[in-house]
Chains A and B, each alone.
Chain A
Amino acid sequence: MSMLDVKNVKKIYTTRFAGAKISALSNVSFTVEEGEYVAIMGESGSGKTTLLNIIATLVKPTDGQVILDGKHLDSMKEKELAIFRREKLGFVFQEFNLLNNFSVKDNIFLPLVLSGKKYNEMNERIKPIAQKLGIDDLLEKYPYEISGGQKQRVAAARAIITKPSIVLADEPTGALDSKSTDELLKMFRGINEDGQTILMVTHSVKAASSANRVLFIKDGIVYHQLYRASMSQDDFYRVISDSLTALTSEGGDNKGGDNK
């Protein structure tokens, strides 16, 4: 069975004032297998962040189903969802989303504390992760005392400390310089090689090329997808880049066309 199964998901926003409807996702279906590292690409406004938020249970779809690790998300209540979010999902956001009132260590502990874990157990868990992500020295600092790249590694540590079914990353390299980006992507690959399923939304070709599979979203539907197979990262980069150029230059002419 797939780790994640997205079936015919639609999302329509109603603006607050005019009552006009805006369709963010028209009809999206795809699956992610356990241990996969999938990137979703698309231009701004293509609906990719909406899709991620639906999977993250932060937004409810207007129609369709999302099944994660065998659970139907639409049937859960807010309280169950909160528990589900912190136990099954790990998040990495573009703007890090660390809480300034907690130290780095406490930020990483946050989801575990929420689940009522003992301090000793949390301490045991954080050690290997901090070492792997190279943040051992930062644990006692506060978020406003460290750099953007460091913050993103802390956010990644927070995402994987709960041993989630899937890590959801939303433009994780968006706010990073190229060196930090490289380090973070390398780290993502490392985590993935340890068996962690990752779903990443990005419009950076470089970030996408670190994944094993890339889905392209356009106008609210999955428009195209590419497998890395045995390609090197550089080759994959070129293929993705070419597809992207083709996609954008085609513009709206290719409406309804599906290259899958």
Chain B
Amino acid sequence: MRNLYLKLSLQSMKKNRAMFVPYILFGAVMFALLYVVGALAQDSYVASIEGGSNLQEILILGNPIIAISSVIFIAYISSFVLKRQKKEFGLYRILGMERKHLVRVVIIENVLAAIASILIGIVIGVSLEKVAQLSLLKIMNKEADMGFEISTIQLISDILIFSVVYCIIILKNIKDIVFSSALDYMNESRTGEKRPKANWVGAILGLLFTGTGYVMSMKCENSAGALNIFFFAVILVIIGTYFLFISASVGFLQIMKSNKKYYYKINNFISISGMTYRMKRNGAGLASICILSTMVLVIMSSATTLYTSMYDVLDEQFPYDFSIALQMPADATMSGDEFVTSYMEDNGIEVGDVKSYRTTDALSLINENGYIDPIVGYDPNAYVVTIVSLDDYNMFNDSSIELGDNQVGLYSLDIKEDFEQVSFTGDNAFEVVNLDSDSKMIKGDTLTVCSGYVTLVFENPEDIVRVQNSILASREDGSNPFSNNYDACVFYALDSSSEPKTQRDFSDRVFNSRMANPEGYNAPCTIALAGGSQSALLFDITSRASFEFSYLGVYDGLFFLGILLCTAFIVITVLIMYFKQLLEGYEDAGNYLIMRKVGLDVKTIKKTVFTQIVTVFFLPLIVAGIHNAFAYPMISNLLKTFGISDTSKFFYVLVASIVIFAIAYGIIFFFTGRKYYWIVRESAEGSEASL
């Protein structure tokens, strides 16, 4: 007896291989991706390279995303497979099989499919992991690893996860069989059919949810705001999209239907009815395709922008290898230049040109009249205002800009207003001259949590001192919003020809010794030099190399995770499209014949049905494009968290991503669509022969 069930299961799987093969492969690919992400996150060679541990922390984030998508979409696609098999099951029931026998067949089928998926998944996963590791190393410009490593722990945990997934699916299928009669199965295609009704509540909810998500994104003005609303807005738009596709689409078609003159024209007549029917059945599937496409576009464009912008960000924030802030006591025996040079050389760092300059900055609120109010603490609406003198600006930029009395040069990509003047507390007002380029001095990575950068260039350094003093005097509590005292603190910018690792080790050493200072990081200290020790009131070193090191893992990791997630989402999209086209094909085949019998010529049928199919499958892409357009302000603000202040690049990358994805989508559509045509033609010809 047992053999009989196995035979039946195998036969049925073979007969429905158009469903089972993609289903098994889909499970395998999802398994492989889950393994790749997990195994790379534990790979010992990746951990050993520069930035590797940062990268692995980011890769781990991908694990739950892929696991959850696997659960949802494997279950979703298995429901297509079961649906297609129901007629066959009905026949078995009528031939005298009991429910428990059928349950046995379904269990055997699913267990076989699950085992096949996991086994193929292991093979793909293990080989793909090596490929992924090598391409990751390539992306990071690191040497290839010739070793081969299989993460047993990851394999076992992934097998456990997938076993649970397949158990859930089996239970769901058993429930389906237990609760339906043989006749239900035979009439599966006819039952459960409800007339297409416009669900206006759903349609309005859809518009409301999506619209709210859009408005939240449009209103987003800074990176902190974007971080706060991101998940909420995304979830609103996802829910809204489902409502829109399921309800609003049918409602819209219903309105078109109610215009009798328009509706009863041959093309409209067939298209509108066909579309209503398709949208009613496919609403949820199309919404899924739309959401997945949106995610692919968002991830693709932002990850690419990040990856290609890393060195731009680094150059903007750290144009020099080292920046040193120094405040020497009045009785110092050597000049600041001498101090810096000898300190670096004592520590084995080769020093090139040293530029000295003065600057100060403060996180400040700026109102619409240009009133600048430095604050203590943190406010997401504030800007980092950097103040520098005209001489220093010209030195850094190799420029010879001139400013008149009481004029201030202003450069900012982030301020939307066009100020005529800026003012500070205590009658300090200056006429604004807009500058074309930012001061190329070291800024640091402060952009992440504020609204943006503003650079102010003062003609006369004494004005800066006066402004700073009057602001400080106005603070009754004695708080100091400035990073340093403009007058007292001197900055040094210098490039070094030492190895990046030497530079980084040096700055780490300095950092650790400063952290060890019992009086605090920025407390006055005494520094030992070869020619005797020297005390400093303030001494701090920022190294570009150490930031480069910490950025490397993060930016590359995000890019790589982006590639993996895009792959996963594209695979899911392809599968859903494939199964949708397959089922559409089976259902349309009968309608083709009826329409021909009633007197529609083959050409017209083909034309209208093709239009419908194209509309149905390209609608999600169009909506995904619209979603992305509205998400643009939010995502470009999110990118500021990573130091990308100039978002025009993101815009171009996004447009390019949309174009590339649309082409890829078209190709996917073309190939899955062939399946549709094949089915329709096959059954149309088949029935012609049987006439």
Contacts and interface: CB of A to CB of B under 8 A. Distances in A.
B691 interface: yes
A237 interface: no
A186 to B, nearest CB: 25
Nearest to A53: B691
Interface in A81-97: 81-83, 85-87, 89, 91, 93, 97
Interface in A62-121: 78-79, 81-83, 85-87, 89, 91, 93, 97-103, 106, 109-111, 113-114, 116-119
Nearest to B263: A119
B602 A58 contact: no
A122 interface: yes
A91 B598 contact: yes
Contacts of A153: none
B444 interface: no
Contacts of B195: 103, 141-142, 145
B646 to A, nearest CB: 51
A66 B596 CA distance: 20
A25 B649 CA distance: 73
B475 interface: no
Interface residues of A, number: 42
Given A113-B269, A142-B195, A101 B276 contact: yes
13 contacts: A13-B689, A53-B691, A58-B596, A82-B596, A82-B604, A83-B599, A97-B594, A100-B277, A101-B274, A110-B598, A116-B265, A119-B264, A144-B190
Interface string B190-209: 10010100000000000000
Interface of B: 190, 193, 195, 260-261, 264-266, 269, 273-274, 276-277, 591, 593-604, 688-689, 691
B363 to A, nearest CB: 62
Contacts, number: 84
Nearest to A107: B598
Interface string A8-51: 00000100100000000000000000000000000000000110
A121 B190 CA distance: 33
Contacts of B691: 49-50, 53, 58-59
Residue of A101, A102, A116, A145 with most chain B CB atoms under a 10 A cut-off: A101
Contacts of A86: 598-600
Contacts of A144: 190, 193
Contacts of B602: 78
Given A97-B594, A113-B269, 18 more contacts: A13-B689, A50-B691, A58-B691, A79-B603, A82-B601, A85-B598, A87-B599, A93-B597, A97-B593, A97-B598, A100-B193, A102-B273, A110-B269, A111-B598, A113-B265, A122-B264, A142-B193, A158-B598
Contacts of B591: 99, 101
Contact of B597 (A83, A87, A97, A101): A97
A142 B194 CA distance: 9
Contacts of A53: 691
B272 to A, nearest CB: 9
A214 interface: no
A104 B689 CA distance: 30
Residue of B273, B594, B599 with most chain A CB atoms under a 10 A cut-off: B599
B264 A114 contact: no
A221 interface: no
Q: When A and B form their complex, which 6 residue pairs have the shortest distance between CB atoms, in order from nearest?
A: A86-B599, A82-B601, A101-B277, A85-B599, A144-B193, A97-B594
B624 to A, nearest CB: 26
A21 to B, nearest CB: 13
Contacts of A122: 264
A111 B599 contact: yes
A173 B318 CA distance: 87
A91 B691 CA distance: 15
Contact of B598 (A81, A114, A116, A117): A114
A127 to B, nearest CB: 16
A132 to B, nearest CB: 21
Contacts of A50: 691
A56 interface: yes
Contacts of A59: 688, 691
B597 A56 contact: yes
Nearest to A91: B597
